[in-house]
């Protein structure tokens, strides 16, 4: 609170504040742009919702491939490692640019040239690599004695993974996963670099036309409104899990 007070005081007392107030906090422009931003924000929300599901599928598949032991899967394991290493190394914005402009330019038969789709693919590939690592950490955290007792009961390796390891791993990684999803919610704004009319690009367009930056502040408020519930939900889950672990350790 004190920090916020000081920050606001510094902002208000700064020499350029009058000018900034006019170009960033103009109520008329805010009221005028909020409807358009809201309708274009739907693009961000939709991207997030669709990508989120696909990211979970990609992440878990890659993590399971890396955790597999079967010799026949060795080439796939190598592929999974390369995928994670490469995709985590590329800045997400570059991947969005490369796929969003690159793939449609190839003019390949049967592949859509819709840049929004390719932006989504870029987000899925980029976040899939992160989420795969989160799942892998969860899988590694399940104690070997759990695997031994599943095998002693006659479960195959696949059954052990499916019924014993993965359910425990998933429970443990829910909080870090939600954290990644908060970050994804914000990164849907990256599609604006392709000129896709999401809330950010709309705000940019509006700002350029009217020579006023207020819409940027409005979009920021929209993103905050989207991420705060997820953040509170993550806190709640973490608190509940901590309480449960303490009960178990008693």
In degrees and rounded to multiples of 5, residue 10 shows phi and psi of -65, -40
Q: How many CB atoms lie within 10 A of CB 23?
A: 16
Minimum distance, C-beta of residue 248 to another protein, in the bound complex (Å) = 4
Minimum distance, C-beta of residue 166 to another protein, in the bound complex (Å) = 10
Minimum distance, C-beta of residue 87 to another protein, in the bound complex (Å) = 30
Structure tokens at 197: 């009319």
Nearer to another protein, 164 or 191 (CB): 164
Residues lying near another protein in the complex (CB under 8 A) are found at 145-146, 148-156, 159, 163-164, 167-168, 171, 244, 247-248
Minimum distance, C-beta of residue 67 to another protein, in the bound complex (Å) = 18
Nearer to another protein, 21 or 244 (CB): 244
Minimum distance, C-beta of residue 188 to another protein, in the bound complex (Å) = 33
DSSP states of 173-210: HHHHHHHHHHHHHHHGGGGGGGT--SHHHHHHHHHHHH
Structure tokens at 10: 């510094």
Q: How many CB atoms lie within 10 A of CB 116?
A: 17
Nearer to another protein, 16 or 144 (CB): 144
Nearer to another protein, 141 or 183 (CB): 141
Nearer to another protein, 150 or 173 (CB): 150
Nearer to another protein, 148 or 228 (CB): 148
CA 124, 130, 133, 138 torsion-angle sign: negative
Contact 190, 223 (CB under 8 A): no
Strands (E), the chain: none
Minimum distance, C-beta of residue 91 to another protein, in the bound complex (Å) = 37
Contact 195, 186 (CB under 8 A): no
């Amino acid at each position: 609170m004190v920090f916020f007070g000081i920050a606001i005081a510094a902002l208000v007392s700064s020499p350029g504040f009058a000018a900034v107030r006019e170009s960033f906090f103009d109520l008329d422009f805010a009221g005028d742009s909020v409807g358009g931003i809201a309708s274009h924000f739907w693009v961000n929300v939709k991207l997030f919702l669709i990508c989120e599901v696909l990211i979970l599928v990609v992440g878990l598949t890659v993590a399971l491939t890396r955790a597999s032991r079967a010799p026949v899967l060795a080439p796939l394991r190598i592929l999974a490692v390369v995928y994670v290493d490469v995709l985590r190394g590329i800045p997400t914005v570059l991947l969005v640019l490369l796929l969003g402009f690159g793939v449609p330019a190839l003019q390949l038969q049967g592949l859509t040239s819709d840049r929004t789709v390719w932006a989504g693919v870029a987000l899925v590939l980029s976040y899939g690599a992160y989420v795969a690592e989160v799942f892998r950490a969860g899988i590694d955290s399940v104690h070997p004695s759990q695997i031994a007792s599943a095998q002693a009961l006659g479960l195959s390796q696949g059954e052990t993974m499916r019924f014993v390891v993965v359910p425990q791993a998933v429970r443990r990684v829910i909080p870090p996963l939600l954290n990644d999803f908060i970050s994804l919610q914000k990164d849907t704004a990256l599609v604006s670099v392709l000129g896709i009319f999401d809330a950010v690009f709309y705000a940019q367009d509006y700002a350029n036309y009217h020579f006023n930056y207020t819409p940027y502040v409005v979009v920021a408020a929209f993103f905050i409104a989207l991420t705060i519930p997820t953040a509170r939900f993550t806190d709640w889950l973490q608190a509940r899990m901590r309480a449960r672990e303490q009960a178990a350790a008693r």
